[in-house]
Structure 1
Amino acid sequence: MTLAILTKEDLHQFKTELLVDLKKIVKSEDNATSKKWLKSKEVIKLLNISPGTLQNLRINGTLTYTKIGGTLYYDNADIEKLLNTNKTNALPTLFK
């Protein structure tokens, strides 16, 4: 069994690499949500819903879409509008 010794320099280097990785992840998530048009898989991931729920949103006209070929595209502004119009201002159960 070998014993590894970590120095302060090792920890500092690890911290620096971790921060760089986290910044990349945050930047890639910002780019995904700032896109004008999102595909179905992106909307499903963004809203954390099932494909069936997304289909129901399309069918009942809750969420508009554009179909080009076999691919469905959703306007990011329409998704934000949907989220904003369904906001609730529920009081915590403490105050009911």
Structure 2
Amino acid sequence: MSLQILTKEDLINFKIELLAELRTLMKGNEPNKKKWLRSKEVEQLLKISSGTLQNYRINGTIKWRKIGSTYFYCLDALNDSFDDNSFSPVS
């Protein structure tokens, strides 16, 4: 049995390589990011109730589309609402 000793420099190099790999993996996932969210996902994202989300739909605060019986919300439109400071979620 051979004994290998890890040095502080070995651990620092491992950390650098690991962080570089994680950055590469995260950049690769961005194009696959969901473009449309369902109601439950928006409620969790904004930390609001389903009633509040319904009020936002009725008031036109949030843009949405309905397909069948399911409501969908464009993630880009939600982000634009936050960027414009025209939207402030209140639960």
Q: Provide TM-score, normalisation by structure 1.
A: 0.53
**How many Å separate the matches in 2 of 1:65 and 1:43?**
11
Distance, in Å, in 2 between the alignment partners of 1:40 and 1:6 is: 50
TM-score (norm. length: structure 2): 0.55
Deviation of 1:5 after TM superposition, in Å, equals: 4.7
* CA offset digits 1:63-95 (Å, max 9, x no partner): 1211112321113343244221517xxxxxxxx
Please identify, of 52-61 and 19-28, the stretch whose mean Cα deviation from structure 2 is larger. Answer: 19-28
Structure 1 unaligned spans of 5+: 88-96
The size of the alignment, in residue pairs, is 81
- 1:25 corresponds to: 26
The code of the aligned residue for 1:28 comes to: N
C-alpha distance in 2 between matches for 1:22 and 1:41:
29
Q: In 2, distance between residues paired with 1:51 and 1:20?
A: 38
The separation in 2 between residues aligned to 1:45 and 1:28, in whole angstroms, is 21
Identity %, equivalent residues: 35
Which residue in 1 is equivalent to 2:47?
49
SS of 1:16's equivalent in the other structure is helix
